[in-house]
């Protein structure tokens, strides 16, 4: 099928502006800045010439239409499907029945009432991280926090506790490497059949993940215990006589949940602490509020509703520094959006929380860090699809409650005890893995100080 929709008739049919210039090069060089510039210059529906006709959507009603009202007409894109080799058909990239069945199985375990045991577990991992901190040290905050969220995710989704930290690290390293080489393979100029270095290394780390996950599944089955980790929940949902397809199903979903469980929220917590370093008045207010609520206690689920300042700081961080910076969908059949934009089948739509969250009519003075945007009254007054750090509709992130809980509990423990001070210029943001944004080279250097020192 050709994509030669050039000319005034095509432009009129889709009712969107096409910016001048090389869109592919701009997306390759700095996609976040390019999309933001497009939205600011050309409005809430922008036509882009990428590998296929694409539309950047920044209108709240259009976004609601794509993510919720007509979600069945918008599927995952080729880029997301390309990760099937590593993550298989997990919740991250599956469609239809393959997505709905495991989601229905897992959904009850992600609801508030099922998460009562999580705050103490999160606290154990946060305390282990803080035990390695020393007053006056300079450290890479992004790495320190990510290692903590990896530990939480390993325990919650794979059942690997604190005494199995080496195994969690091995899973983390294999996932990271497989992810890295998959992106390198997709972005390279080589034909699909050529056995390039990225392709060979992608397969190497995928096989390693296969072996490690198979061993873990065998251990869980042999133990036969009523464990609460998500891998055990998935195993119990399977028939007793499991075959190779069941094994692959378990492997895919366990790895997908593990990755989704640590990376976005790890980025969010690190950026929240960095924002507090740049806004000492907000930092002091958060520290005082958490001390008032908790004293010296470890947070429990009963404390979480009272940790309102931590919730607002986390929400504002996910507005201004969203880890999932964009989501893309493939149009299944021709569709007309509420704004009047007409989309042809097989086109791509791009929805960018980074761009949407910077609309000045939705968030006045959008570059300013202001947790008061998330008071209960302010949230009620705002359209829910104006703020989408976890997506929306039937494919909204299943782990939203877990991620929010992890972020609030971590901030409530760290803020009263430690002050984070920025070292050098603010880290540059990059999108090297294609799905999430992170500090360049995963480096966020800070100095840490004990508040009681």
Length of the chain: 453
Angular region, 20: left φ>0, alpha ψ -120 to 50, beta rest: beta
| Cα–Cα distances in angstroms (integers) from residue 62 to residues 55, 319, 339, 353, 385, in the given order | 11, 19, 6, 13, 10
Residue 249 has pLDDT above 70, yes or no: yes
Average of pLDDT values for 23-50?
A: 95
* Rounded Cα gap, residues 169 and 171, in angstroms: 5
Find out whether 87 and 93 touch, Cβ atoms under 8 Å.
yes
Q: Given this model, what pLDDT does residue 192 score?
A: 72
Average of pLDDT values for 253-269?
A: 92
Average of pLDDT values for 394-403?
A: 93
CA 148 vs. chain centroid, Å, equals 16
128-132, 159-163, 344-348, 407-411 — which is least confidently predicted? 159-163
Q: Given this model, what pLDDT does residue 117 score?
A: 87
Q: Given this model, what pLDDT does residue 417 score?
A: 97
Q: Give the residue among 416, 384, 211, 380 at the shortest CA–CA distance from 296.
A: 416
Chain segment 215-238, per-residue pLDDT in tens: 999 998 888 767 778 888 888 887
* Rounded Cα gap, residues 386 and 363, in angstroms: 9
Say how many CA atoms lie within 13 Å of 356 toward its Cβ. Answer: 29
Find out whether 301 and 416 touch, Cβ atoms under 8 Å.
no
Confidence of residue 248 (pLDDT cuts 50, 70, 90): confident
Return the structure tokens found at 441: 């080279």
Chain segment 315-365, per-residue pLDDT in tens: 999 999 999 999 999 999 999 999 999 999 999 999 999 999 999 999 999
Average of pLDDT values for 104-111?
A: 85
Find out whether 109 and 399 touch, Cβ atoms under 8 Å.
no
Q: Given this model, what pLDDT does residue 237 score?
A: 81
The phi, psi pair for 91, rounded to 5°, reads -60, -25
96-105, 120-129, 164-173, 417-426 — which is least confidently predicted? 96-105
Query: What are the structural domains, with CATH classification, of the chain?
Result: 1-87+325-356 (3.30.43.20), 88-322+357-450 (1.10.630.10)
Find out whether 344 and 14 touch, Cβ atoms under 8 Å.
yes
Chain segment 140-198, per-residue pLDDT in tens: 999 999 999 999 999 999 999 888 999 999 999 999 898 888 888 877 777 777 888 88
* Rounded Cα gap, residues 302 and 299, in angstroms: 8
Q: Give the residue among 107, 108, 90 at the shortest CA–CA distance from 99.
A: 90
Q: Given this model, what pLDDT does residue 133 score?
A: 98
**Mean predicted lDDT score pLDDT of the chain:** 90
Q: Given this model, what pLDDT does residue 112 score?
A: 74
Exposure string (b/e) for 35-56, b if CB count within 10 Å is 16 or more? bbebbeebebbbbbbeebbbbb
Confidence of residue 110 (pLDDT cuts 50, 70, 90): confident
| Cα–Cα distances in angstroms (integers) from residue 146 to residues 15, 343, 376, 403, 431, in the given order | 43, 39, 30, 13, 16
* Rounded Cα gap, residues 155 and 174, in angstroms: 17
* Rounded Cα gap, residues 199 and 179, in angstroms: 11
């Amino acid at each position: 099928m050709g994509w030669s929709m050039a000319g005034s008739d095509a432009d009129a049919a889709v009712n969107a502006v096409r910016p001048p210039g090389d869109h592919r090069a701009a997306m390759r060089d700095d996609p976040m800045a390019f999309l933001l510039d497009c939205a600011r210059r050309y409005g809430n529906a922008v036509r882009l010439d990428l590998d296929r006709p694409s539309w950047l959507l920044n209108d709240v009603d259009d976004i609601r239409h794509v993510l919720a009202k007509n979600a069945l007409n918008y599927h995952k894109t080729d880029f997301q499907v390309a990760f099937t080799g590593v993550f298989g058909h997990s919740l991250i990239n599956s469609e239809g029945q393959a997505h709905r069945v495991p989601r229905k199985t897992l959904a009850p375990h992600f609801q508030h009432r099922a998460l009562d045991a999580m705050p103490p577990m999160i606290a154990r991992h946060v305390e282990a991280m803080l035990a390695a901190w020393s007053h006056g040290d300079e450290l890479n905050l992004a790495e320190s926090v990510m290692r903590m969220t990896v530990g939480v995710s390993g325990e919650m989704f794979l059942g690997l506790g604190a005494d199995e930290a080496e195994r969690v690290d091995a899973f983390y390293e294999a996932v990271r490497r497989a992810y890295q080489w998959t992106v390198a393979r997709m972005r390279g100029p080589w034909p699909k059949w050529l056995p390039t270095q990225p392709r060979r290394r992608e397969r190497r780390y995928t096989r390693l993940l296969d072996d490690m996950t198979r061993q873990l599944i065998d251990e869980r089955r042999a133990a036969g215990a009523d464990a609460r980790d998500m891998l055990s929940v998935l195993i119990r949902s399977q028939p007793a006589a499991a075959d190779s397809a069941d094994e692959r199903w378990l492997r895919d979903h366990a790895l997908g949940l593990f990755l989704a469980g640590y990376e976005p929220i790890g980025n969010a917590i690190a950026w929240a602490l960095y924002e507090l370093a740049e806004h000492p008045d907000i930092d002091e207010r958060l520290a005082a509020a958490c001390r008032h609520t908790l004293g010296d206690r470890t947070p429990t689920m009963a404390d979480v509703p009272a940790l309102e300042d931590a919730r607002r700081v986390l929400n504002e961080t996910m507005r201004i520094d969203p880890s999932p910076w964009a989501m893309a969908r493939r149009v299944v059949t021709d569709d007309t959006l509420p704004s009047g934009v007409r989309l042809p089948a097989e086109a791509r739509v791009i929805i960018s929380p980074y761009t949407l969250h910077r609309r000045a009519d939705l968030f006045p003075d959008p570059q300013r860090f202001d947790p008061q945007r998330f008071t209960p009254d302010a949230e009620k007054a705002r359209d829910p699809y104006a703020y989408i750090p976890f997506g929306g509709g039937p494919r909204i992130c299943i782990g939203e409650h877990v991620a929010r809980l992890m972020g609030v509990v971590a901030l409530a423990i760290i803020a009263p005890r430690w002050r984070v001070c920025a070292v050098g210029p603010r880290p540059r943001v990059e999108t090297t893995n294609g799905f999430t944004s992170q500090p360049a080279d995963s480096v966020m250097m800070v100095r840490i100080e004990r508040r009681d020192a």
